[in-house]
């Protein structure tokens, strides 16, 4: 029988701090139950006649498709809306768009630039709004990451996650808070110029302390990853920062995850995995890397037995489904 917390009904997700620790972990558990349900071949009706608007200002493979299939699997629908499709922010304000779409849809998932836009949609639409990535946070990604760690290691206890790369991007910010809330030790290996924002770090540190774990920031990746069980990276240049590409590649080269860095954890023969939110520049097969080759992770690590990136990617769908179901489903005990 599927169960989830009543307090999740009707809830928006702006960032992981929007939820209590228990609520966040409950969503991860619900996602595991929904995954098992889908594996058993069940396509149910938990979202029967629920319609979700997907407002996307930035590109997406995983978040877009996960949202559409999550809704469709359970009898709901999702409509993909990009800036050229609707008047959003051009002929119509965010506030007015929110009020229009909130009368039509049961929920809105937003991917875009400003966190403020996401918050405004939540404030004025009157329906749950989920942050599918902004410049500042990527909370739905971290639900999938926690599920992947839990599935691979059995639980989240006694685990150290080392994030290596751009330490103040949306994924790093949310991962730091997600680890703090889950009681997972978090290490950030990043150059001084990209250290986490002070306020974001302080907020996560307070939560980590409450849960008996610490957060440590290093500029030396080899020292930093010692003892880590999860090495995690993301692209060196996030969407919207393309002008910084050359500078970032130069700055972050020493932070590439390769087999030497995997070995530097000291856990190469034990509890160790590699995660990446994807898309990843690990080979020559993209427009960006056709001449440069691998950037943030080598092909050797990406394709190794330590890599759980496609489980992680699949888990985006189950965790987004958990968010939709817990917020919108009218029934319990199904």
Residue 147: CB minimum distance to ligand CP, A: 14
Enumerate the β-bridge partners of residue 130: 13, 109
Q: How far apart are CA 172 and CA 195, in angstroms?
A: 10
**The one segment of 78-86, 166-174, 222-230, 318-326 that binds ligand NVA by CB under 6 A:** 166-174
111 is catalytic: yes
Q: What is the CA radius of gyration of the chain?
A: 19
For ligand NVA, the closer CB: 66 or 152 = 66
Q: How far apart are CA 156 and CA 185, in angstroms?
A: 10
Q: How far apart are CA 232 and CA 302, in angstroms?
A: 11
Residue 175: CB minimum distance to ligand CP, A: 12
316 is catalytic: yes
Give me the catalytic one of 64, 138, 248, 276.
138
Is the Cβ–Cβ distance between 160 and 232 less than 8 Å?
no
Give which of ligand NVA, ligand CP, none residue 61 binds (C-beta under 5 to 8 Å, depending on kind): ligand CP
Is the Cβ–Cβ distance between 70 and 324 less than 8 Å?
yes
- DSSP character at residue 89: T
For ligand NVA, the closer CB: 50 or 64 = 64
Q: How far apart are CA 182 and CA 219, in angstroms?
A: 24
Give which of ligand NVA, ligand CP, none residue 180 binds (C-beta under 5 to 8 Å, depending on kind): none
For ligand NVA, the closer CB: 204 or 235 = 235
Residue 78: CB minimum distance to ligand CP, A: 14
Give which of ligand CP, ligand NVA, none residue 245 binds (C-beta under 5 to 8 Å, depending on kind): none
For ligand NVA, the closer CB: 98 or 171 = 171
Is 164 a binding residue for ligand NVA by CB under 6 A? The answer is no
Q: How far apart are CA 284 and CA 224, in angstroms?
A: 28
In this chain, which of 26, 152, 170, 174 binds ligand NVA, going by CB under 6 A?
170
Is the Cβ–Cβ distance between 301 and 230 less than 8 Å?
no
Give which of ligand NVA, ligand CP, none residue 234 binds (C-beta under 5 to 8 Å, depending on kind): ligand NVA
Among candidate residues 151, 8, 144, the one with its CA nearest the CA of residue 66? 144
Q: Which residues bind ligand CP (CB under 6 A)?
A: 60-63, 133, 141, 277-278
């Amino acid at each position: 029988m599927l169960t989830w917390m009543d307090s999740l009904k009707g809830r928006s997700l702006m960032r992981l701090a929007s939820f209590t620790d228990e609520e966040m972990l409950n969503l991860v558990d619900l996602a595991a139950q929904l995954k098992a349900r889908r594996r058993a071949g069940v396509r149910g009706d938990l979202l029967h006649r629920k319609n979700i608007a997907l407002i996307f200002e930035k590109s997406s493979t995983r978040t877009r498709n996960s949202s559409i299939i999550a809704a469709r699997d359970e009898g709901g629908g999702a409509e993909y809306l990009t800036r050229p499709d609707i008047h959003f922010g051009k002929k119509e304000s965010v506030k007015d768009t929110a009020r229009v779409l909130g009368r039509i849809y049961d929920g809105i998932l937003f991917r875009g630039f400003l966190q403020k836009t996401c918050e405004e949609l939540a404030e004025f639409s009157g329906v749950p709004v989920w942050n599918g990535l902004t410049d500042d946070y990527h909370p739905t990604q971290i639900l999938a990451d926690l599920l992947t760690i839990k599935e691979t290691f059995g639980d989240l206890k006694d685990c150290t996650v080392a994030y290596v790369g751009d330490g103040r991007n949306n994924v790093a910010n949310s991962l730091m808070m997600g680890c703090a809330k889950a009681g997972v030790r978090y290490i950030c290996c990043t150059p001084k110029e990209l250290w986490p924002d002070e306020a974001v770090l302080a907020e996560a540190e307070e939560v980590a302390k409450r849960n008996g774990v610490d957060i440590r920031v290093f500029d030396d990746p080899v020292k930093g990853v010692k003892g880590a069980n999860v090495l995690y990276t993301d692209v060196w240049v996030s969407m919207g920062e393309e002008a910084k590409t050359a500078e970032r590649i130069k700055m972050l080269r020493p932070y590439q995850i390769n087999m030497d860095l995997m070995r530097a954890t000291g856990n190469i023969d034990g509890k160790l995995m590699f995660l990446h939110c994807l898309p990843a520049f690990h080979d020559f097969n993209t427009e960006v890397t056709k001449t440069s080759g691998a950037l943030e992770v080598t092909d050797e690590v990406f394709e190794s037995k330590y890599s759980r990136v496609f489980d992680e990617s699949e888990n985006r769908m189950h965790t987004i489904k958990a968010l939709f179901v817990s917020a919108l489903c009218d029934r319990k005990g199904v």
